Chain A
Amino acid sequence: KQEVTQIPAALSVPEGENLVLNCSFTDSAIYNLQWFRQDPGKGLTSLLLIQSSQREQTSGRLNASLDKSSGRSTLYIAASQPGDSATYLCAVKVIIQGAQKLVFGQGTRLTINP
């Protein structure tokens, strides 16, 4: 059974710092890995998607890496801003019982202090 773990569960840092969020998964047989952002009471916004054959993806101040063999992904946020405060979720796309599904981690609650 695929399990996804995110560490830390919560993180609070001063504005301007670079930070890394971690995601690990137990089964390397994934199709892709997706990082989402969720603001309180809102839906999920897709940040980055890394295909299983890729090693990293970049979008602005965000960089996501994938090491499928070791079952790890990281989300790097450069020069953090208070607007980055949100919960960050990683999810892996797998085939379970013939159907494609996203398996989510529990999320990291990020607070950027001005």
Chain B
Amino acid sequence: DTEVTQTPKHLVMGMTNKKSLKCEQHMGHRAMYWYKQKAKKPPELMFVYSYEKLSINESVPSRFSPECPNSSLLNLHLHALQPEDSALYLCASSPTLANSYNSPLHFGNGTRLTVT
């Protein structure tokens, strides 16, 4: 079982749809992350939030819009996606960015996204 919960587990959406991915953790972690993982590839960092503020945006297209409404929740809003955006989207958390030097990241099980 994972302490980082992601919903939905699977999502199929058309290129004109708007959908959201959700991530929740109750470990008191103050840093949260979105990663994208294509098949047979390692995860790639998309966004990092620290204390509910966006800390890192890895030049991600604007059709991906992150949101951190509180310290336990992280959303990823999706709009006008392309088929090549189909991937496993992983959420992770860590205590804080400053204190995470020697703390592991905790990953959720991901949302499998298919864009048709």
Contacts and interface: CB of A to CB of B under 8 A. Distances in A.
Nearest to A107: B42
Contacts of A93: 100-101
A77 interface: no
Given A41-B88, A44-B90, A51 B102 contact: yes
Interface string B92-116: 1000010011111111111010000
A102 B45 contact: yes
Contacts of A31: 101-102
Contacts of A36: 107
Most buried by A among B92, B97, B101, B104: B104
Task: Report whether over half of chain A's contact residues are helix, strand or loop; otherwise say mixed.
Answer: strand
Contacts, number: 57
Interface in A1-45: 31-32, 34, 36, 41-45
Given A41-B112, A106-B41, A46 B48 contact: no
A69 interface: no
Interface residues of B, number: 26
B82 interface: no
A44 B100 contact: no
A44 B108 CA distance: 7
A107 to B, nearest CB: 6
Interface string B40-75: 011101001000000110000000000000000000
A93 B31 CA distance: 15
Contacts of A89: 42
A99 B106 contact: no
Given A41-B88, A42-B110, A104 B42 contact: yes
A112 B27 CA distance: 34
A93 B101 CA distance: 8
8 contacts: A31-B102, A41-B88, A44-B43, A46-B104, A93-B101, A99-B48, A99-B55, A104-B42
